[in-house]
Amino acid sequence: MSVKSVVLICGGGNGAHCLAGLASLKSNIESRVLTLYSDEAERWTAKLESGLLITVRNDDGSESLIQTKPSMVTKDPKEAVSGAHYIFIVVPAFAHTSYLDAINPYMGKNTVIVGLPGQAGFEFECVDLLGDKAKHCTIVTFESLPWACRLIEFGKNVEILGIKDTLGASVLKGEQCFETRPILDLSQYIFGDKPKLRRVQNYIAITLMADSTVHPPIMYGKWSQWNGKPLSEKPLFYQGIDERQAELLSGVSDECLATAKAIKKKVPGLDMSDVIHVFDWYLKHYSSHITNKSNLMTVMRTNKAYDGLVHPMKAVEPGKYVPDFTYRYIREDVSMGIVPIKGIAELAGISTPYLDEVITWCQGKLNKEFLVGNKLTGKDLKDTRAPQKYGYNKLEDLFTGNYSI
Ligand code: NAI
């Protein structure tokens, strides 16, 4: 990488600290941070001089320390965006809109906009909010964050608890975007050796494989029959799944696969082979962590990577817990996860009884109406990123127009 690239990181949370810290280590990258939230820019700027420490917990139990120093943290979009070649948006999906609105006026041509992670409907939202400008851009969706990470001290110390082995990204290029910037090479250069990045064939394939297809079925399976009494401990999330939850998860995954197959049939030449069943996905990505590979339930129950991960719960009194239905597993993974996926399935003509059952329960918890019966015609569809909200009413609408994949 010989030409200096200007990389903007949007956000001020766990992932934004990691990315800003790692990008700042590279002498041929000028990295900047834009955070719009509350007084984060002021608080981070006040600590900038003393530097940022990244503590990495390695697989062998050892610890590596990376001392780094972002050069600029601001809440001024003009200062941050002007001249930026790559803009990574590293915030929960509900905050994407505020960043896209803020960067839009100052974005130059051939900018690469990256959702790290993008979550379902990221491309629809970018195209909608950026209007004609989006045609000059490349829109990239990563399937997740490269790291399991958490802030120890804001602006000062972030901890990387684990790094994924591989990470997929899809690339959607505007027809008037004339310069192909090497986004995967640049990202790999910033992240280091791990995770190994791979290109997913298209943005619909990455959407159908989103993490968000896992969380709502498990929440529904666990809590739909709950008697409302507080529990004395937090149940295991993945390692606690039962046959019913595994069936729901598998059913949703089958529906995503059927959608991918239908799309492949109707859109000649499109490669949807990245969309695989969740059981196969676990075997592919977590094989060495799993001790019992008999079926989906045992695969999840015996996956060491999930040690200690519990359901999102809130304490109602010391030692008494109830489920937290405002956590992102429902709040984000429904409107920006399984509802857009349902929307794509609807356009592909696939019936989705499992998705419908899960969405119906979740929307009740959110006090929203997305689905009416088995159709996405609810009054709150505007609060989602389903394709129908943006006026995509035929399957072809997703693959024709001003973008190439
Ligand atoms: P986070 O929870 O640290 O994000 C909080 C940040 O988001 C805040 O510091 C602020 O900058 C911004 N924010 C919050 N509310 C806002 C608002 N109303 N308006 C504007 N900005 C607001 O997020 P994190 O952990 O960095 O994760 C980013 C994404 O990556 C999420 O979608 C998360 O689900 C996903 N992810 C996170 C992992 C992790 O280990 N942290 C692992 C895998 C995925």
Q: Per-residue DSSP letters for 204-242? A: HHHHHT-GGGTHHHHHHHHHTT--SPPBSSPPBSSTT--
Give, for ligand 1, the residue of 10, 35, 38, 145 to mutate: max count of ligand atoms closer than 8 Å to Cβ: 145
Residues labelled as active-site residues: 215
Question: Could you tell me the distance, in angstroms and rounded to a whole number, from the CA of residue 205 to the centre of ligand 1?
Answer: 24
pTM above 0.85, yes or no: yes
- Answer whether 92 contacts ligand 1 (Cβ < 6 A): yes
Residue found by looking up tokens 């969740």 in the block: 278
38 CB neighbour count, 10 Å cutoff = 10
Contact indicator for 234, 321 with CB cutoff of 8 Å: yes
285 in helix, strand or coil?
Answer: helix
Could you give the CA distance from residue 399 to residue 405 in angstroms, rounded to a whole number?
Answer: 8
The single-letter DSSP state of residue 337 is I
Could you give the CA distance from residue 42 to residue 39 in angstroms, rounded to a whole number?
Answer: 5
Cis peptide before 146 (omega within 30 of 0): no
- Answer whether 212 contacts ligand 1 (Cβ < 6 A): no
Model confidence pLDDT, tens digit, residues 322-376: 999 999 999 999 999 999 999 999 999 999 999 999 999 999 999 999 999 999 9
Question: Could you tell me the distance, in angstroms and rounded to a whole number, from the CA of residue 132 to the centre of ligand 1?
Answer: 28
Contact indicator for 169, 200 with CB cutoff of 8 Å: yes
Q: Which class for 65: exposed (0-12), middle (13-18), buried (19 or more C-beta within 10 A)?
A: exposed
Model confidence pLDDT, tens digit, residues 374-385: 999 999 999 999
- Token couple for 229: 């009494």
- Answer whether 25 contacts ligand 1 (Cβ < 6 A): no
- Token couple for 169: 């990204």
Model confidence pLDDT, tens digit, residues 158-213: 999 888 889 999 999 999 998 889 999 999 999 999 999 999 999 999 999 988 89
